Structure 1
């Protein structure tokens, strides 16, 4: 079985609501898993950082490069990077390797536009994994844990957790695409998962799923 991932940079998921009894943590990027490969969305504006955080150095490598390399080294079959803000500079400085790129001209309208951009590039039988572009420490083993759970149990969605806190990346079954297409504004895929049965909370026992780089302080402490 193949898996598709979509990752978005510089976007903020829900920060003030809860689901499944656990707090939602703020995130700057998101990724989707599908049956064909991986898509990484890097279309956000990085308002809180004040610059293209995708291109900041993180332990000797650019943040977005870390995310793409981790995905390519995992069991994913395909990677698609969705670009918006800072597109030209990102294209010049990031080595996409086997990853494809898409452009989201509506990125200023919020992360839902990047969700739609990714979904429209997926086939009807492809599930999607949202991998956050500002989470360079989500390593291939974490991605592979989610893939393994998806292959073995086929849940409606998978949300990784650590110490009962939900993080990213989130896996969405293709059966939810129609609902995702109704999202508007700065809303991410977890919006549609509230009160749904068949959602798997997967304890990965790793803090990296909760760690993103949204502010200069986050970057300095990374």
Structure 2
């Protein structure tokens, strides 16, 4: 008997968007936001997305904590760089 493995994705949304000059995650894109589009694309081929937040994490959690297939995780060390957010997300893969 084999156990089905779910396809999981780690999505990083913790950064300050400092190079962009404004916060990218909630910028309008198509019918929603950039993050809405990225999540829809990921969920088209993944069973579950671990969404790692940091900067403005409470806002993202409020928007996505009840989203089917998405687990919102806060990285308290998000200012240490992208790799710390990746490590945080990988720690929540089941």
TM-score by length of 2: 0.81
Higher relative contact order (CA 8 A, sep 6+): 2
Deviations 1:53-81 (A, max 9, x none): 10000123110011111222x23121111
The aligned runs of 1:135-146 (5 Å cut-off) are none
Deviation at residue 50 of structure 1 after TM alignment:
2.0
Change (3 A) 1:68 1:96: farther
* Alignment match, 2:53: 83
Provide the C-alpha distance between the structure 2 equivalents of 1:69 and 1:2, rounded to a whole number of angstroms: 17
Deviations 1:147-180 (A, max 9, x none): xxxxxxxxxxxxxxxxxxxxxxxxxxxxxxxxxx
Provide the C-alpha distance between the structure 2 equivalents of 1:95 and 1:78, rounded to a whole number of angstroms: 13
Are 2:52 and 2:72, in contact at CA under 8 Å, matched by a contact in 1? yes
Deviations 1:176-220 (A, max 9, x none): xxxxxxxxxxxxxxxxxxxxxxxxxxxxxxxxxxxxxxxxxxxxx
Structure number with greater Rg is: 1
The aligned runs of 1:65-84 (5 Å cut-off) are 65-72=36-43, 74-84=44-54
* Alignment match, 2:32: 61
Q: Runs (4+) of structure 1 moved beyond 3 Å?
A: 92-96
Q: Gapped runs of 5+ residues in structure 2?
A: none
* Alignment match, 2:75: 104
Deviation at residue 96 of structure 1 after TM alignment:
5.3
Q: Quick one: which of 106, 117, 120 aligns to 2:88?
A: 117
* Alignment match, 1:205: none
Counterpart check, 1:48 vs 2:32: no
- RMSD of aligned C-alpha atoms? 1.8
The aligned runs of 1:149-160 (5 Å cut-off) are none
Provide the C-alpha distance between the structure 2 equivalents of 1:94 and 1:83, rounded to a whole number of angstroms: 11
Change (3 A) 1:59 1:95: farther
Are 1:68 and 1:96, in contact at CA under 8 Å, matched by a contact in 2? no
Change (3 A) 1:55 1:96: farther
